[in-house]
């Protein structure tokens, strides 16, 4: 899922998703990493969480990731996909 696809599908303000649902309140890149997870990408940390190493192509699509080496996500009992 590209940045443009996310902007078409969700309401985003100040880099955060405002649309109700699974990604509400999360940063714009949350659906991107969720889709990568569904495709079998990412690494489990030994628990229920998954992390992704930030690659140059990730930063190209989402400049907000600049300076980060990894992002880690989990899913709440209510089904929200949240950055940890």
Region of residue 42 (left: phi > 0; alpha: psi -120 to 50; beta: else):
left
Characterize 37-71 residue by residue with b for buried, 16 or more Cβ atoms within 10 angstroms of its Cβ, and e for exposed: eeeeebeeeeeeebbbebeeebeebbeebeeeeeb
Reported pTM: 0.94
Residue ranges in the chain whose pLDDT is less than 70: none
Residue 80 has a pLDDT of 96
pLDDT in tens, 20-37: 999 999 999 999 999 999
Residue 8 has a pLDDT of 98
Sorted by where each begins, the domain ranges of the chain are 3-83
């Amino acid at each position: 899922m590209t940045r443009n696809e996310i902007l078409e599908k969700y309401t985003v303000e100040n880099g955060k998703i405002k649309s109700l649902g699974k990604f509400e309140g999360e940063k714009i890149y949350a659906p991107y990493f969720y889709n990568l997870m569904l495709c079998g990408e990412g690494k489990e940390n030994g628990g229920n969480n998954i992390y992704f190493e930030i690659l140059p192509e990730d930063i190209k699509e989402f400049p907000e990731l600049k300076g980060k080496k990894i992002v880690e996500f989990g899913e709440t009992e209510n089904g929200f996909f949240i950055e940890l």
